[in-house]
Amino acid sequence: MDVGLIGLVAGSGWASGVNVYATIALLGVLGRMDVGPVPDILQRNDVIVIAVVLFALEFVADKVPFLDSFWDAVHIVVRPIGAAILGLVLSGDADNWQQAVSVLGAGGIATAAHAAKATTRLAINSSPEPASNIAVSLLEDGLVLAVVWFAVSNPLVAIGLVAVLLIGGGVLTVALFRVATRVWRRRRGEGERNPSAASTAGAAVDDGRGHVRR
């Protein structure tokens, strides 16, 4: 596989794991602008229009607390499958083994990117307020734009950028998972202590004559 195809597959795979509709729309538009080689099917008017409409829906949903996590749950399969299909389309007339690597590579990278995105959103929603959701979502949109741009115009840069994002996303996912586990254990411990305290307090009942029955 040449560097151009690797960069396209890696970049579109990561971007699809964050926002598959924006990725498809951007690939089509950048192809129309002759920024780099993009298959003709992605430059079709109907493909671009449908992708833009779906991206507009995700643009709004992705910035609303809890709705963003619901949207991520719905797309837990859509994004990796969309990335895998893009990998197949981008590989074009390549050999069968290259097509297989493109499909599996794009789908795998998208799964990792989606996991990091969904985990981050769950952590943010532990303190639901719109400002942080909007800020993180806009940052993700900007990263998708940058990654897809480099995937088309400079695949070598895209490969390096995706590698950094995957490593950073993996570290972030593990860290957030550990924090969430500690919080869950602490809340579980508090829940186990409170009922016993309540039952002890409730066991002491005044019998009306100044005496306490237990």
What mean pLDDT value characterizes the chain? 86
Contacts of 12 (CB under 8 A, 6+ apart): 23, 27, 83, 86, 87, 90, 106, 148, 151
Please give the model's pTM, rounded to 2 decimal places.
0.82
Higher pLDDT, 38 or 213: 38
pLDDT of res. 176: 77
Would you state the pLDDT for residue 203? 47
Report the distance separating Cα 46 and Cα 41, nearest Å.
Answer: 10
With a pLDDT cut of 90, the percent of the chain lying above it is 58
CB 8 within 8 A of CB 27: no
pLDDT, tens digit (0-9, with 9 covering 90-100), for 141-152? 999 999 999 999
The HSE-up count of residue 198 (CA atoms within 13 Å, CB side) is 6
Domain spans, the chain: 3-177
Amino acid at 79: R
**Do residues 102 and 5 lie in contact, with contact meaning Cβ atoms separated by under 8 Å?**
yes
pLDDT of residue 197: 45
Tens of pLDDT, residue by residue over 97-150, are 889 999 999 999 999 999 999 888 888 877 767 788 889 899 999 999 999 999
Measured between its terminal Cα atoms, the distance across the chain in Å is: 78
- Residues 36-61, mean pLDDT to the nearest whole number: 95
Is pLDDT of 187 > 50? yes
Q: 11 falls in which pLDDT band (50, 70, 90)?
A: very high
pLDDT at 180 > cutoff 80: no
- Classify the C-alpha dihedral 104-137-44-53 as positive or negative: positive
